[in-house]
Chains A and B, each alone.
Chain A
Amino acid sequence: MWSIDHPFVLWALALALAPLLWHGQRTLPHGWLPAVPPDPASRVLALALRLTGALTVVAAVLALSGLHRQGSAVEHVGTGAHIVITIDRSASMSDGFAGRDAKQGDEPKGQAAARLLEDFVRERPRDLFGMVAFSTAPVHGLSLTADQDAVRAAVRASAAPGVGLTNIAAGLTMALEQFRDKPVTGSRVVLLVSDGAARIDARAQNQIRRLFAENRSALYWIFLRSAGGRGPSDPPDPEKGFDPAPEYFLNEYFLDLGVPYRLYEADTPDALQRAIADVSRLQNLPLRYLETPPREDLGGICLAIALAGSLVLLLARSLEVSAWSR
């Protein structure tokens, strides 16, 4: 497909009329023109020279307008996925992991998650990534995009100390909305990274269930266990009186969603890395993706035509006579 960077420059194409009106050739006075016999070859030559001038002007103007050819995107089939990283940015993400050797001054969960997710993104150059963060409210980071640098910048930004609560329902809803009206050209994944859970009310439960079904997205939940905290696999203990255990019930709810679902519990950065590696392996399904060929600049070709035209004109000028020969 041909296109032009600066269409307004095309107005200068009117200048191509100049060589048709003005021949620019040396004229010599002659005593009596009617005495000169008609010379069709000269007339053809004169016209050809004018047209050459016009062509040269057109070529130069096209070069100025930034003419180029942009191939249409070509579809390839590779392996990969469309992944919306949905990351918890609540205040507790600045705390350390739960693991046995955990001590003060360890890498906060949020920073470890951001670091490992950044590597994850780097290792999957063909995937499309979206980014959603949530604390009390969901925060749109990036729509699904192939711009890896931007995705990594958004992941890095999520390492900053968080604020507020863990509103998982809002985060999931926003993440699933990312798939809306997008063609299903590969497997879809919501990669939920959080260190806590919250009760999701019945209305939100239904909405999220519907969105998962509509968008045919899988769910991976990487749960970062806090020191002293409990995880999704710990059922509530009736002995201890009232125990909401939101993580446990959220896991039960996810199991019941009817979409591919997997839970990873990570209580050390190493465990988190293993979980991410596992997601990476699982998501190597066929993926259709578009690749736009690089733009082909036609300015050089235009200038070559202009050069050829001006050389022809130069030849004509150099053959001009300065006086009538006897």
Chain B
Amino acid sequence: MRASLRHFAATRGARFWLVAASGACFAAGIADPALHIERTVGTYMLVFDITQSMNTQDAGRAGARTSRLDFAKSLALDALDRMPCGTHAGVSVFVERKTQPLLMPVEACAHRAALADAISHIDWRMAWAADSHLYYGTYSALNDIRTLTPGAALAFFTDGHQAPALHAGRTPAWDGKPGDIAGLLIGVGGDTPEPVPRLGDKGRIEGYWTAEDTAGFASAGAPTQSVADMERAGGDLRNAPQRAAGSDNDHLSRRRDDILEDVAQITGLGTLVAGTPEQLAARLRALPGGHLTDTRFSLRTPLALAGLLALLASLVPRVTLRRLPRLFHFRSS
């Protein structure tokens, strides 16, 4: 009996074994075995700057410019779609000096619809004030994470535009420890100064902010100077407008990498110029922190594929197989 089995096995060609292998693959696939892979996934607080400079239409591809805010919103969602399930994300908005969380972190696959709903409804009209003190805003975002969602990382979508501008040397101080909370400042917007639109209630552009508008806004006071200082600076400056140097063009807005770098320096966050969702997802995943999650990787698809290929291989006519080596044969002269 044994001998006859051995004889049977020995006389079967490669094709028999290929069909047998394909059957074995299909059978294993029915059982649906799976690999359990432990992966580190993060929790992210997505903070959107909704000040009016974010309405500037200079983000996205040339020819299809959208507002910085719209671009940031779709970038955030697309990046989430490219991150593994188990990733958690929360949503928050920033205006004036503070952030207001809208949604605490939820799992990004199971609650994708809710995240998309919350993110897509973010609107500049949610703003409770019009100023944009980015330093304070970042501190507020980090403070929210420390008190409400410890362990989360920050993803702050902003153009870096400060309104009103700060006087040199008057950077708001931060009492946290740099690098305690990981995160990214994601710069959106273009490199050239663009006018900031004034939108009406229905979201239509009704005009643009002018230099006169912005000159009329309150600004942080200039440092007090003594008479001697003023004389040295050339004349009586008491009644001169108290605006930060270089803020004459504050009605125009561009992505302020210099400010973002400065905020990042103070807080230990990273910076990134917004680009593709893949790039953002990769940078977010590279942030420290996160928790381990067990991802089930089903082997059914690879097994079905292997079975199919084995079956097809068993069909290839012998003639074709015999001719194959010739394709790779180089004639020697």
Contact = CB atoms under 8 A, between A and B. Distances in A.
A149 interface: yes
B305 interface: yes
A47 interface: no
A322 B119 CA distance: 69
Contact of B101 (A140, A160, A313): A160
Interface of A: 12, 15, 18-19, 22-24, 26-27, 53, 56-57, 60-61, 63-64, 89, 133, 135-143, 145, 147, 149-150, 153-154, 156-157, 159-160, 162-165, 299-300, 302-304, 306-307, 310-311, 313-314, 317-318, 320, 322
Given A142-B117, A160-B144, A307-B30, A19 B13 contact: no
Interface stretch (B167-175, B182-190, B236-244, B314-322): B314-322
Contact of A63 (B92, B111, B123, B304): B304
Contacts of B103: 141-142, 150, 153-154, 157
B224 interface: no
Contacts of A299: 29, 32, 300, 304
A57 B104 contact: no
B37 interface: no
Contact of B113 (A57, A63, A147, A320): A147
Contact of B125 (A24, A57, A137, A317): A137
A303 B304 contact: yes
Given A154-B118, A311-B23, A303 B300 contact: yes
A136 B129 contact: yes
A245 B20 CA distance: 86
A157 B308 contact: no
A40 to B, nearest CB: 24
Contact of B128 (A63, A135, A156): A135
A89 B100 contact: yes
Contacts of A150: 103, 106, 111, 114-115
B301 interface: yes
B104 A157 contact: yes
A313 B126 CA distance: 67
In the complex, the 10 A-B pairs of residues with the closest C-beta atoms, listed nearest first: A150-B114, A24-B315, A164-B128, A136-B128, A310-B23, A140-B121, A307-B26, A157-B101, A153-B104, A60-B308
A137 B15 contact: no
**Could you tell me the dominant secondary structure of chain B's interface residues?**
helix
B118 to A, nearest CB: 6
Given A63-B29, A163-B96, A303-B26, A142 B114 contact: yes
A181 B216 CA distance: 44
Contacts of A302: 304
A318 B16 contact: yes
Nearest to B106: A153
Given A140-B121, A153-B103, 16 more contacts: A15-B308, A22-B315, A26-B15, A53-B315, A60-B26, A64-B308, A89-B100, A133-B102, A137-B127, A140-B123, A160-B101, A160-B144, A160-B148, A164-B129, A299-B300, A313-B314
Nearest to B123: A140
Contacts of A304: 26, 30
B312 A145 contact: no
Interface in B42-73: none
B22 interface: yes
21 contacts: A60-B304, A64-B305, A133-B102, A137-B126, A141-B102, A142-B114, A147-B111, A149-B106, A150-B106, A150-B111, A153-B90, A153-B105, A157-B102, A160-B144, A162-B100, A300-B32, A303-B307, A307-B23, A310-B22, A310-B307, A311-B23
Nearest to B316: A22
B98 interface: yes
B27 interface: yes
Contact of A18 (B16, B19, B315): B315
B128 A314 contact: no
A163 B100 contact: yes
A317 B26 CA distance: 18
A147 B305 contact: no
A314 B15 contact: no
A182 to B, nearest CB: 14
A105 B314 CA distance: 78
Contacts of A142: 103, 114, 117-118
